[in-house]
DNA sequence: ATATGTCGTGAGACCGGTCTCTTTATATCG
DNA sequence: CGATATAAAGAGACCGGTCTCACGACATAT
């Protein structure tokens, strides 16, 4: 066994060239698949390469060509089904175009996001897809553009940044869900999100630093206002970041003198937590409380009752973002756009019809 | 706006050096954080770097140091909660040690796995964690070792390959689950997996090309045999790769003259499919059929009844694999081992007690 | 037969870092 | 005060590819 002893310097084009008794340039032409080489020499080089088990050093290749063939993706949390589905969409689009994907987690934290972006730029990715943790802090993204690296935002838009964004149609989705609830006779509706409630509570919708959440809340509030329901902001609750927090959010909400009869969950993780909260409070869905969750997650259709959801078509979103980025990388002339993927309300059994 | 017009050649150490009026070597020392440089010059270089917005080219750095700071991970399917949890474990271990992770999907297909491995080797990853799609075909993995790249297998072991593997304690897990079912009075038990049933059916347990599944089946069969139950192999069914296939597997199983009273699902995806199959057949769990699933997936504890599961502690598995790989990369002297992460049977409500 | 063109090959610069080796400047010592 | 040690800075090779350019051989044109 002569393995770890000899770290065995990797086989290079020069080695192959020597073995095939040709110049380095010629061997490189054959192995790199460019330029013109005679059939005879091609065979000889290929044979030598096979014998030596040559594997090209993509690093070196990237350095001279300036292209890495990698696209970088910065997501909030891969463990979240929303992102893992999106990543699959992105990966599929990437693979189709011959690109590979490198994924970094930001944990929805700005600092982690910044260093992830820096790192990926350092690795000379050909393009970047970022889910910005906050839409009000984007110096680092500005820098990406100045560095000449194509960028596509995912799930959240930053209008101040002159760059493509692929998002869901969050406002419309919230409007549709809220209208549906009102149509079923609900009059007191709450929106629950996992966003950090910085500065305690919700003074100003415009302040919400995540555009997806902001737009959903705007849609939600606009429908309530339009329907003449009082004090819609009162029913928007942030901070459902974990089970315990969610339990307390829900408990507080439901012990209100005018407790909501229906809850709208901002994402499937919050939805699951709400479901568990209600379960542990011994409340039945939809008899005691109705709910709608965003994202068609696994768990939502094996519960009793199955959960009515807003299908965000995340795979398509991811795929679209990937395709858009690749078009940018390949310098396809396109106007900067915000691409909205429309959503679908999937009615299942978690909303009761009340009143008459 | 002068962006895409001037692709703006990236700022290099040479540029910074010129701006700071020092040699390239000195600038590199400051920027690379090695060697000795006086405080005065350090400041000057840093100032120049900041002014020019210098960002190191990690590619070039990797090329000269020979280290990329990246570990490659080849998984079966990121969308599967099993793998996304594992990836988080791996990422956490990697980040702690200053490594980054690049993920590739094999879709559980050998060819895709081979090309993913080749690609990652080409990118000069410092190490590789692979979930081998098949344990009986490993030339490409042998090549990884010959290339001197540290390798750790994940979830499945290949004894013929002299390399570390981190797996669950699959045999024991299956034994525990099966014993539990027998203890609850079940006498006819079935094991259902999503493995492709090549060659139709299950002639020979040893033939199962996925060691995790094989060991579980072995554990399952051994308990049944030990308990003197007849024809255990009859109840091992493969091919539950999607909902439709699963429906037909379950239907066939339950229409048997000696239909099983309990089902063991090989992973949480199969478990979910089985749950839906039973639901659509109008069968109630656990009254009509009992079931146990592997993996503590989200959905398993919001169903009615909640599903009894085998907790595989996947995050720990991932973390362990990451740590092991990093130890290898850092040349820590260690014997080649198979690390087994023990599992836990979590009893919830999906298994009925029968008989008296 | 000489000029022109094309094709295949070789030589060597280049990408942007790291790192070794050499040179220069300053400090320490007898 | 000169000799030697030591710290700091510079020069340039190197990593493994790509790619431009130069060159020789042969084919075609004149």
Given A10, A87, A143, which is nearest B147 (Cβ)?
Answer: A10
Dihedral of alpha carbons A304, A306, A307, A313, sign: positive
For strand C, which nucleotides have at least one atom less than 7 Å from a protein CB? 7-12, 14-20
Q: What are phi and psi of B347, to 5 degrees?
A: -80, 120
pLDDT digits 0-9 by tens, B158-172: 999 999 999 999 999
Residue B5: the pLDDT is: 41
Whether A203 has a pLDDT exceeding 70, the answer reads no
Q: Rounded to an integer, what distance in angstroms lies between the CA atom of residue A24 and that of residue A78?
A: 44
Tell if the CB–CB gap between B103 and A103 is shorter than 8 Å.
Answer: yes
Q: Which of B59, B279, B297 sits opposite A59 (nearest CB)?
A: B59
Assign B3 a pLDDT band (cuts: 50, 70, 90): very low
For residue B106, pLDDT beyond 70: yes
Between A4-18, A169-183, A229-243, B283-297, the lowest mean confidence (pLDDT) is in A4-18
- Are the C-beta atoms of residues A167 and A157 closer than 8 Å to each other? yes
Domains (ranges, CATH) in chain A?
13-56 (no CATH), 68-167+314-341 (3.40.50.2300), 170-312 (3.40.50.2300)
Predicted TM-score (pTM) of the model is 0.90
Strand D surroundings (CB within 7 A): A 9-14, 24-25, 28-29, 31-32, 34-35, 54, 56-57, 60-61, 63-65; B 22-26, 28, 36-38, 40-41, 60, 63-64
Note the pLDDT tens digit of each residue in A256-268: 999 999 999 999 9
Cα gap A285→A75, rounded to integer Å: 32
Q: Which residue of A has its CA nearest to B120?
A: A58
Work out the mean pLDDT of chain A and round it to a whole number.
92
Tokens of A288: 């005691």
* Dihedral angle, C-alpha B136, B141, B143, B146, nearest 10 °: -120
How far off is chain B from A231, nearest CA to CA, in Å? Answer: 33
Contact between B299 and A302 using a beta-carbon 8 Å cutoff: yes
Residue A81: list chain B partners with CB under 8 A.
81
Q: If you write DSSP's letter for every residue of A186-248 in order, what string do you get?
A: ---EEEE--S--TTSS-S-GGG-S-HHHHHHHHHHHHHHHHTT-S-GGGGEE----SHHHHHH
Identify the band that residue A207 occupies on the pLDDT scale cut at 50, 70 and 90: confident
Tell me the shortest Cα–Cα distance from A217 to chain B, in angstroms: 26
- Reported as a pLDDT band with limits 50, 70 and 90, residue A199 is low
Q: What does the pLDDT look like over B327-340, one tens digit per residue?
A: 999 999 999 999 99
For B212, the token pair is 């995790």
8 Å CB contact of A3 and B148:
yes
For position B103, what pLDDT does the model report? Answer: 86
A26/D16 CA-to-C1' distance in Å: 15
Contacts of A147 in chain B (CB under 8 A): 8, 10, 53, 55
Mutate to test the interface with B, among A50, A78, A319 (most CBs of B within 10 A): A78
DSSP-derived secondary structure letter, A300? G
> Could you give the CA distance from residue B239 to residue B247 in angstroms, rounded to a whole number?
11
Per-residue pLDDT tens digits for B14-64:
999 999 999 999 999 999 999 899 999 999 999 999 999 999 999 999 999
What single DSSP character describes residue B286? T
Task: Please name which of B241, B240, B223 lies closest in space to residue B232, comparing C-alpha atoms.
Answer: B223
Nearest CA of chain B to the CA of A239: how many Å?
21
pLDDT of A30 strictly over 80 = yes
| pLDDT value of residue B113 | 94
Residue A62: burial class (beta carbons within 10 Å; 0-12, 13-18, 19+): buried
Which sign does the torsion angle of CA A210, A216, A219, A222 carry?
negative
Closest CA to A122 of A59, A164, A78, A61: A59
What value does the mean pLDDT take over residues B277-298?
Answer: 96
- Counting residues of chain B whose pLDDT is more than 70, the rounded percentage is 96
Characterize the bridge pairing of strands A308-311 and A344-346: antiparallel
- B199 falls in which pLDDT band (50, 70, 90)? low
Kind plus residue range of the DSSP H or E element containing A102: strand A100-105
User: Which of A55, A101, A276 is nearest residue B302 as measured by Cβ atoms?
Assistant: A276
Q: From the CA of A3, how many Å to the C1' of D19?
A: 36
Is the pLDDT score of A100 beyond 60? yes
Contact B88, B318 (CB under 8 A): yes
CA B352 to C1' C8, whole Å: 78
User: Three-state DSSP class for A73?
Assistant: strand
What is the reported pLDDT for A8? 67
**What pLDDT digit, counting tens, does each position of B338-348 carry?**
999 999 999 99
Instruction: Provide the pLDDT confidence category of residue A5 given band limits of 50, 70 and 90.
Output: very low
Distance, CA of A35 to CA of B245 (rounded, Å): 50
Structure-derived torsion over alpha carbons of residues A32, A38, A39, A43, reported in degrees to the nearest 10? -50
Question: What sign has the CA pseudo-torsion A179, A180, A181, A184?
Answer: positive
Checking if the pLDDT of A28 tops 80, the result is: yes
Contact A78 B60 (CB under 8 A): no
pLDDT attached to residue B208: 87
Closest-CA distance, B87 to chain A, in angstroms, reads 8
Model confidence at A278: pLDDT above 80:
yes
Position B1 scores a pLDDT of 41
For the CA of B328 and the C1' of D18, the distance in angstroms is 33
**CB-neighbour burial class of residue B318 (10 A; exposed 0-12, middle 13-18, buried 19+):** buried
Pairing type for strands B344-346 and B308-311 reads antiparallel
pLDDT at residue B264 is higher than 90: yes
Separation between the CA of B343 and the C1’ of C28 (whole angstroms): 68
DSSP code per residue over B190-213: EEE--S--TTSS-S-GGG-S-HHH
Q: Which chain A residues are closer than 8 Å to B1 by Cβ?
A: 162
- Average pLDDT of B230-248? 92
Q: Which chain A residue lies closest to B149 (C-alpha atoms)?
A: A7
State the burial class of residue B353 (Cβ atoms within 10 Å of its Cβ: 0-12, 13-18, 19+).
exposed
Q: What is the CA radius of gyration of chain B?
A: 26
Binned at pLDDT 50, 70 and 90, residue A1 comes out as very low
- Which nucleotide is nearest, taking the CA of residue B24 and each C1'? D10
Using the predicted structure, report yes or no on whether residue B285 has a pLDDT greater than 70.
Answer: yes
Name B71's bridge partners.
B101, B127
């Amino acid at each position: 066994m002569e393995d770890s002893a000899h770290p065995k310097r990797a086989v290079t084009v020069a080695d192959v060239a020597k073995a095939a008794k040709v110049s380095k340039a010629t061997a490189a032409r054959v192995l790199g698949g460019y330029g013109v080489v005679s059939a005879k020499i091609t065979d000889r080089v290929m044979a030598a390469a096979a014998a030596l088990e040559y594997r090209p050093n993509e690093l070196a290749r990237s350095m001279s060509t300036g292209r890495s063939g990698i696209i970088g993706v910065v997501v909030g949390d891969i463990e979240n089904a929303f992102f893992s589905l999106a990543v699959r969409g992105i990966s599929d689009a990437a693979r189709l175009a011959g690109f590979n994907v490198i994924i970094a987690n930001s944990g929805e934290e700005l600092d982690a996001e910044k260093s992830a972006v820096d790192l990926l730029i350092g690795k000379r990715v050909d393009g970047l897809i970022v889910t910005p943790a906050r839409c009000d802090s984007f110096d680092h993204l500005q820098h990406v553009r100045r560095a000449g690296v194509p960028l596509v935002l995912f799930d959240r838009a930053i209008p101040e940044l002159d760059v493509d964004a692929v998002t869901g149609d969050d406002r419309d989705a919230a409007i549709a869900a809220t209208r549906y609830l009102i149509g079923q006779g609900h009059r007191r509706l709450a929106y629950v999100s996992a966003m950090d409630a910085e500065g305690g509570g919700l003074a100003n919708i415009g302040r919400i630093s995540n555009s997806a959440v902001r737009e959903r809340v705007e849609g939600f509030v606009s429908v309530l206002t339009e329907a003449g329901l009082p004090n819609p902001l009162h029913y928007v609750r942030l901070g459902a970041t974990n089970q315990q927090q969610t339990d307390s959010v829900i408990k507080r909400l439901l012990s209100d003198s005018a407790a909501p009869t229906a809850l709208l969950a901002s994402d499937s993780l919050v939805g699951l937590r709400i479901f568990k909260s209600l379960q542990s409070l011994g409340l039945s869905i939809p008899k005691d409380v109705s709910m709608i969750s965003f994202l068609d997650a696994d768990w939502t259709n094996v519960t009793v009752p199955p959960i009515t959801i807003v299908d965000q078509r995340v795979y398509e979103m991811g795929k679209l973002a990937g395709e858009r980025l690749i078009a940018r990388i390949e310098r396809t002339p396109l106007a900067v756009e915000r691409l909205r993927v429309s959503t679908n309300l999937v009615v299942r059994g978690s909303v009761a019809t009340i009143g008459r």
